[in-house]
Structure 1
């Protein structure tokens, strides 16, 4: 049976975090608040838990979930390389609404789905999410909704869609803005030489604007040639690990 904890209530937050941590350790699912939309979380290093997440949402392995981390230092452990331009993005927008796609560290023993050898990583800007991540380590986190439905902006909406497939719901009221993260593909920067012209590509518009990215990346940001070049919401499937969160 699912349990709901209102983390705005000091008398419930400790119990809620404990139950959420224990659920993750058992390979179960947790719904948690983030600074974008509510997320559906599973242990990133437990393949059965990640599959449970995909099953709960009604999606296949071709749409693997991003990974949320508690701090920028964790990024280096999950990816093959952190290029200088990516570090500038991290410094500017983490914690916050920017998800960065990079080649995954080959030595990692995990199975997020058909990632094409990449991983999408974000550090959220929300106290509850960061506290849980600090205790559990990296979590595979997708938006807390059924595929094709709007992302939940309050835990009760997630519960109405996901029901008993989730062990613990951490409620924290409505999301601050309900806008999913911006997703950028920085894979071309890894291993690039001076003769190459690597560019960072926006896979999905979201909380961080193109103008903000241009201020940090300059000419390294791929130009938007057509209005339809950037894909919204969950239409970005097939671009590696792209998701609504």
Structure 2
């Protein structure tokens, strides 16, 4: 059931549902999450079973502010404090040492926990109301509100389509960012990028006062993190990445065949078949990120048999979009 996020009663109803151990569709600026009280192991277990997600694949815990993060983090390195100050609320998740006895199920059996302070105003209102509840709900475990491995939802209607009317969904409109948060591992003494998002790495480095290393630069044992599996974010139709020349060659070889192929490309292309669905990809990385998951869902709804996408540019601004598309293309 969709709850109108503009009504104060919707926030109250959502808090009561979470306090009873129920799940909630939660709007954030990145994507919609499937939320539960992070300290309620049974409720968190329902997230895993509802999504079909392995229970050892950790969830991100959403908190209202830096103070709330202290309930979950055993320690916060100085560079992580600086990242919080610069980018919270916002699309940044920090992996931190976990305090014993908290968020055990959400952490997937690890001694670390991923924490994020979302910027969406409804998420902020809900987290504040959760903290004021008695007993307080200090954080919400909330992976993307979709079946495991599939395309993330960026509207409340996407969540309803995924799980039906039985799930309460707080409707906060379309997500502003459109792809999941940047994830930085802060458990190894230096900041390590585990998942790119829309945040600029140079800006992250300036904020924390040191370089952000890649996983490859520090290939020691690292914590598992959300959205880092090789195959993820996949539409129902197989997705293939190609450059513009390969795309046009493939379209020319199709001729007038009724192939039910969908194409998302920055470069203008021509197709002989009227059944080829050509959609322009935005030229700006942020706009492409905002449109990405909604476009893949639209292609599936249109009945596409194959989805062909122009490979994003190599510029760092496109890292988040490229990461999601490469994982989507890795699905069998």
TM-score, normalised to structure 2, is 0.61
Structure 2 counterpart of 1:169? 169
**Aligned counterparts of 2:155 and 2:146: Cα–Cα separation in 1:** 11
The corresponding residue for 1:241 is none
Match of 1:7 in 2: 5
Show the counterpart of 2:149: 148
Preserved contact between residue 146 and residue 152 of structure 2 (Cα < 8 Å): yes
Structure-1 separation of matches of 2:34 and 2:166: 10
Q: How does 1:62-101 map to 2 (within 5 A)?
A: 62-101=56-95
Look up the SS of the partner of 1:60 in the other structure. coil
Unaligned runs of 5+ in 1: 190-198, 238-243
Give the direction of change, closer, same or farther, for the CA distance of 1:225–1:55 in structure 2 (3 Å limit): closer
Residue in structure 1 matched with residue 183 of structure 2 by the alignment: 183
Q: Which runs of 5+ in 2 are unaligned?
A: 131-137, 218-223, 231-323, 325-332
**Against the structure 1 CA distance between its residues 223 and 14, is the aligned structure 2 distance closer, same or farther, given a 3 Å change threshold?**
closer
Q: How does 1:201-220 map to 2 (within 5 A)?
A: 201-220=192-211
Give the equivalent residue in structure 2 for 1:200.
Answer: 191
Runs of at least 4 residues off by over 4 Å = 223-226
Write the distance in 1 (CA, Å) between the matches of 2:117 and 2:162: 25
Distance 1:107 1:220, change over 3 A: farther
1:235 maps to 228
Distance 1:174 1:71, change over 3 A: same
SS at match of 1:183: strand
User: Partner of 1:196 in structure 2?
Assistant: none
Task: Considering Cα pairs closer than 8 Å and 6+ residues apart, tell me whether 1 or 2 has the greater RCO.
Answer: 1
Write the distance in 1 (CA, Å) between the matches of 2:163 and 2:56: 20
Written as runs of structure 1 = structure 2, the 5 A alignment for 1:37-48 is 37-48=31-42
Q: Which has the larger radius of gyration?
A: 2
